């Protein structure tokens, strides 16, 4: 019962931050997506793709499936904002966002509470044995903080 309570709390935090970001992005015009966070920094469209790609890869990190859009990784995770980002339209990224978060919601709902406390795929069995707090739930909490960090940047625009 305690595990379920912790998972429920973590998922509520995740869902709240995803919903806030989605509401923010949905209110923007295509032109707004070209604005930079700060002079010489990433554009909003980059952060949109960055969050979408990072969340998509969460499926593989947690070991609960395969990423839907691994082709986003080079443009949105391996490099800063640049020409690779311009290969994607705002409309495409909006659809990817919806697809990724719908899929995550399905997968999260199907994952039993005890499975959230298991090892994730970014660590070895040996490392997990040394530090079991580095589990799937801790990854979700970290990704939730990641959304909050970038949302803070976005509201300053």
| Domains of the chain, residue spans | 2-155
- pLDDT 10s per residue in the chain (157 long)? 899 999 999 999 999 999 999 999 999 999 999 999 988 889 999 999 999 999 999 999 999 999 999 999 999 999 999 999 999 999 999 999 999 999 999 999 999 999 999 999 999 999 999 999 999 999 999 999 999 999 999 998 8
CB neighbours (10 Å) of residue 5?
Answer: 10
Asked if 25 contacts 52 with a C-beta cutoff of 8 angstroms, the reply is no
Q: Which CATH architecture has domain 2-155?
A: Up-down Bundle (1.20)
């Amino acid at each position: 019962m305690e595990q379920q309570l912790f998972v429920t709390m973590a998922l509520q935090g995740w869902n709240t931050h995803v919903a806030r970001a989605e509401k923010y992005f949905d209110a923007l015009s295509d032109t707004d997506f070209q604005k930079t966070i700060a002079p010489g920094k990433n554009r909003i469209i980059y952060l949109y793709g960055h969050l979408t790609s990072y969340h998509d890869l969460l499926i593989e990190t947690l070991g609960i499936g395969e990423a839907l859009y691994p082709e986003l990784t080079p443009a949105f995770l391996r490099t800063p904002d640049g020409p690779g980002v311009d290969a994607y339209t705002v409309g495409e990224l909006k659809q990817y966002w919806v697809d990724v978060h719908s899929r995550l919601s399905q997968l999260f709902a199907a994952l039993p509470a005890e499975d959230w406390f298991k090892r994730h795929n970014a660590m070895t069995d040996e490392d997990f044995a040394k530090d079991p707090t580095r589990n799937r739930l801790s990854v979700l909490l970290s990704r939730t903080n990641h959304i909050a960090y970038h949302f803070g940047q976005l509201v300053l625009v």
